[in-house]
Structure formats: C-alpha cells, structure tokens
A = this chain, B = another copy of it.
Amino acid sequence: MAITVLRAGPESASQAVEPASPVARFGPDEPLAMDAGVALAPWQIAYQTEGTLNAARTNAVLVCHALTGDQHVTQRHPLTGKPGWWETLVGPGKPVDTERYFVICANVVGSCMGTTGPASINPATGRPYGLDFPLVTIRDMVRGQAMLLDRLGIPDLFLCIGGSMGGMQVLQWAASYPERVFAAMPIATGARHSAQNIAFHEVGRQAVMADPEWHAGRYLDVGSRPAKGLAVARMGAHITYLSEPALHRKFGRRFQDRDAPTFSFDADFQIESYLRHQGISFVERFDANAYLYLTRAMDYFDLAADHGGVLANAFRGTRTRFCVMSFTSDWLFPTADSRAIVHALNAAAAPVAFVEVESDKGHDAFLLDEPAMFAAARGFIQAAARERGL
C-alpha cells in the first residue's frame, strides 16, 4: 500500500551524470557571482540549441525552464525517453519557430541535468556538494544564462520566454539586462512567490528531509537516495499544478479497475494511482537536493523587494515589449499575479500585452495543448519579429 520506489539505474539523475548536452565550462577565473555571497568556481552550464543563429545574431530565443524542467525543450529526454517538454510551442512552424529563430535552453544553476548543482562534485572536498552548495536565486540562474550567452557570442535576445519558474527568470532577465531583451513573455508566473506557495514548497522540503535516506543531504556519499520523501513531495506539488475541475473531469471519484471500494489503503481511486505514478517517476529523473534548492529559489523570488518595494522600479526605462499570460484555472499563479506584473509594466510605461487564457487545466496548462495560448504567442512573436526586422 505504501509506494515502492524502484532503484534507479546508473543513468539516474541523482548520480550527477552529464546527459548528452553541450556544456559550457567556466574555470577558476570565471566564477558565477551568487546572491548568497559566494563566487562559484569552477562551474558549468548544460544547454541545448535548435535552429540557426543568423549572421546579424539577432534571432536568439532563450527558453527558461520551470522547477523540474531542463534543457531538453525540443529533444527527447535522455532519462525518460519522453519528447521535449515544450514541443507544443517550440519547433519548426510552431509559435517559437525553430526555422526562423535560434533557440537556446540551459539547465539552471542548482539543477541536476548537467549544470552545476548540489549533486555536483565540490572541488574543495572531492565529494558531492550536498547542502554545502550555496543557496541559489532566480537572479543567479539568470546571471549564469547571461554568461552562457557571452560564451556563445550572442549579444542580446530577440525573445526571452518561460512559464512558472521559467517566467520568473524572464522577469529577472527583463529587470537585470533590459538592453539584452527585445521581447519578453512571462507565462503563468508571478513577480513574487505567495505565502501559500511558500507553504506548499516547505511541506515538500520537509517530506524530503524527513526521509532518513536523505542523510542530512549527504545521501550520495552513502550511495542512497530519499526516494520516498521526494515522491511524497512531488505528489503534493503535482496537485497544485492541476485544478479541481481538471481532476474532476480526468478522474472524478472513479475507482481503479473495479466498481466499489476495497476497504483498504490500496490505491482505490484512479487519482491515487495517478499521483503515486507521478511521485515514483519523478524520483527516477530528479535529484532531491536540487529539488530543495530550486523550490527555495522560487520562495526567495520577490522582484519588487529588490527594487525598493515598488515592482514598477524593476522596469523603469525599459524598451522591452512584454506579453504576460495567465490561465483562468491556475491557482498556483493566479491571474491576479499576472495583473500585478502588467500594472507595474503600465506604471513603468513599458509596452505590454496581457492575455488571460480560458482553460480548466490549471497551472500545467502552459505545457499543454492550448490553442489560445499558441495563437496569442504566435501573434506577439510575429509582431515583435517584424519590429526587429527578422
């Protein structure tokens, strides 16, 4: 009745392997300056690209991934074998058209798909960092991406786009490097994490830390993994990515493989079986400490607080054009969060379009087949391309 987690094979993400992605390496003299006050060095960032950079270097698109995403935006995932996570939006002929644009997606600092994070080897000890890795912020992620662009010889971005934690990075890009972002599209996100969202993250972290296999973060040293705790964390988080109407439509109160309750703690209901599967499959591809670090980075995100408590100050004088998008049934980042961004952009006199997409699919809608989202994205991007002369 308790969930059983299969042991991961040697390809497990928690073993800090490097998937087959290009990697930009930064040596001891090229540290990443982190908000925690640490100069991280050496460090590396794994990325994927799709399409061709034009001669003028004006058609680069940076796709920013969400909490548990990675650089495989259009490539088959090396661990799960699944299609790229945003093939609905990015690809040949898609709104982010890889026949016209040069698309880059990099695994964020603190994650576990080839970029330096808590599962990476700490050169000072020769062992995985674990909790000795410095806390990561959204701004640190963006600094790392900017260093990657420098390395790739890309002066600025035609478009910076992402959903959820990816949307936070888009906002941070627009605030930190306004001159390097021609157009920005933050989707299903907020300029700060709400108390309720921090609360859900904290429960997930406590679930990981409550697992004795976590070993105070040193599980890789002892060849273990807090798989059960991480699965519980993922199950809880997954509920927040959906919506009550979507759950009702998809599962309702339907029983699993039978008509009546078993009067046991087996997965009687389809929703239980589905959630257990989500938990189990997640731990096969994700490092537990990376989950702690990245949820914390989202909790800490508060763009207004970084600008004297006034969100508009983050965007004053910007020439970036924005398209802000939310989904009606998203209760993790409700439309009110997007409206707050739009109001701040209005106050900063920035050009901004706002689209609230009618959908019952909850927060995850941004990853799914939402024609209204695609139409709005296509329109915004094509208009921006015309302005950019692409």
Contact = CB atoms under 8 A, between A and B. Distances in A.
Interface of A: 1-3, 35-37, 131, 134-135, 192-196, 198-200, 202-203, 205-207, 209-212, 214, 216, 228-229, 231-232, 235-236, 239, 242, 244, 247-248, 250-253, 261, 263-265, 267-269, 271-272, 275-276, 279, 292, 296, 299-300, 302, 305, 331
The 6 A-B pairs with the shortest beta carbon distances in the complex, nearest first, are A2-B209, A210-B228, A135-B263, A195-B247, A36-B263, A203-B236
A27 to B, nearest CB: 25
B195 A253 contact: yes
A195 B194 CA distance: 24
Given A210-B211, A247-B194, A272 B135 contact: no
Q: Which of A3, A195, A268 has the most CB of B within 10 A?
A: A195
Given A195-B269, A265-B296, A231 B206 contact: yes
Contacts of A228: 210
A299 B131 CA distance: 38
Given A196-B244, A200-B239, A302 B253 contact: yes
A76 B157 CA distance: 64
Contact of A207 (B200, B207, B271): B207
10 contacts: A3-B206, A134-B263, A195-B250, A196-B239, A199-B275, A202-B271, A206-B279, A207-B207, A210-B228, A268-B299
As for how many copies of this chain the complex holds, the number is 2
B247 A2 contact: no
B275 A2 contact: no
Nearest to A274: B199
A202 B235 contact: yes
A200 B3 CA distance: 15
B209 A275 contact: no
A209 B248 contact: no
Contacts of A261: 135, 300
Contact of A269 (B198, B272, B275): B198
